[in-house]
Amino acid sequence: MSRAYNFNAGPAALPLEVLEQAKAELTDFAGTGMSIMEHSHRGKAYDAVHQEAVANMSKLLGLTDDYQVLFLQGGASLQFSQVPLNLLPAGGSADYVNTGTWANKAIKEAKKVGTVNILADTSKEIPTNMPDFAALPYSKDAAYVHVTSNETIAGTEMPFFPDTPSPLVADMSSDILSRPFDITKFGLVYAGAQKNLGPSGVTLVVIRKDLLERAPETLPTMLQYRTQAKENSLYNTPPTFGIYILMLVSRWLLAKGGAAGIEAINKAKAAKLYAAIDGSGGFYKGTAVPAFRSNMNVTWRLPSEELEALFVKEAIAQNMIGLKGHRSVGGIRASIYNACPPEAVDALVAFMADFQKKNG
């Protein structure tokens, strides 16, 4: 049984080295005679894992002392609510940029909490687009500005992060640590782990410490960021196995040269795939405006839906999994996150050429 070429959008591929290590110590972690899953979250063995996960994340993200790492649950989807519940004061307003499905969901939840200004809406544009983030009418007195750094379904990615008058908040679920970025522009970033960081069940939140005090005391304890901040994400039982895998992924990423190291690999993978699309004489058509093409989720169409279905089916027969576009938009999507090896992209590019020869 060989490893599949896994292009799943999330949960997504994990580094083979990480899986091998987890397998090797699954029943006996560090000579303790127990799985890490069976250890107390207050014990020595798990504590070392937890501390290393926090330290490695801080290092990879280039955090200063002004920021804190939190490991939460509820996915990025709970953050759509938790961000406004903590950061949007009664009577205040927040700026949001609507770039697609995920931004739209964040907006929907924020509107339940307070006033939302939509700075731009490119969510319905085809080819899929993003606004010029340098030229948006940011409010002077907004509680924060919310952006989605990578629209996983559309296949668009913010090419840079703007300077904003109020703290920038980003949903980075599908491109966190795929490239370096300057954390000091941000008040808060969040990401479900299951695309670039580890398994589902862990949500990474990085928050600027001064924002911890914004939440009203009436907010339920578990929804206040400061509850977990005070306890280093150990207020209650954290998702220990997920954090352990995330820690192994963070080690793997450090060995690759961190965000800058993996960015070079990611850019090369994406460039190959876009070159295959653009060089197909129109048989394959990229669906994102080129300036906003994602290096994580590459989306394209074929001349007909029948050919798209055949493409997906024949790809599966060649061990290439997860290429069907999101059900809301159709087409083809290859998710090529950090852990998707370059060989998988090479195999896909070869398959695309072969498929076109037979069906073009």
Ligand X SMILES: *Cc1c(COP(=O)(O)O)cnc(C)c1O
Note if 105 is an active site residue: no
Classify burial at 4, counting beta carbons within 10 Å of its beta carbon; exposed 0-12, middle 13-18, buried 19 or more.
middle
CA-closest candidate to residue 277, choices 347, 353, 181: 353
Note if 195 is an active site residue: yes
Burial string for 26-40 (b: 16+ CB within 10 Å, else e) reads eeebeeeeebbeebe
Given 95, 171, 175, 324, the catalytic residue: 171
Cβ–Cβ < 8 Å for 150, 288: no
Nearer to ligand X by Cβ, of 192 and 341: the residue is: 192
Instruction: Tell me the H-state helices in the chain.
Output: 16-24, 44-61, 75-87, 101-113, 225-230, 240-255, 258-278, 305-317, 342-359
Residues 6+ apart with CB under 8 A from 9: 152, 153, 174, 195, 297, 322, 326, 333, 335
Nearer to ligand X by Cβ, of 146 and 214: the residue is: 146
Amino acid in position 295: N
Given 95, 175, 195, 324, the catalytic residue: 195
Nearer to ligand X by Cβ, of 153 and 253: the residue is: 153
> Quick count: other Cβ atoms within 10 Å of Cβ 237?
10
Least CB distance to ligand X at residue 297 (A): 8
Least CB distance to ligand X at residue 262 (A): 18
Least CB distance to ligand X at residue 305 (A): 24
Given 102, 252, 269, 300, the catalytic residue: 102
CA distance 36 to 145: 39
Nearer to ligand X by Cβ, of 147 and 276: the residue is: 147
Query: Which residues contact ligand X (rule: CB under 6 A)?
Result: 10, 75-77, 102, 148, 152, 171, 173-174, 192, 195
Question: Which residue has 């798209």 as its token pair?
Answer: 308
Least CB distance to ligand X at residue 207 (A): 17
Cβ–Cβ < 8 Å for 102, 158: no
Interstrand relation of 145-148 and 115-121 (parallel, antiparallel or unpaired)? unpaired
Question: Which residue has 């107390």 as its token pair?
Answer: 40
Least CB distance to ligand X at residue 101 (A): 8
CA distance 61 to 262: 13
Note if 65 is an active site residue: no
- What beta strand segments (E) does 177-245 contain? 186-192, 203-208
Nearer to ligand X by Cβ, of 192 and 283: the residue is: 192
CA distance 215 to 224: 6
Nearer to ligand X by Cβ, of 170 and 276: the residue is: 170
Nearer to ligand X by Cβ, of 170 and 352: the residue is: 170
Least CB distance to ligand X at residue 45 (A): 27
Least CB distance to ligand X at residue 169 (A): 13
CA distance 197 to 174: 9
| Residues with active-site annotation | 102, 171, 195
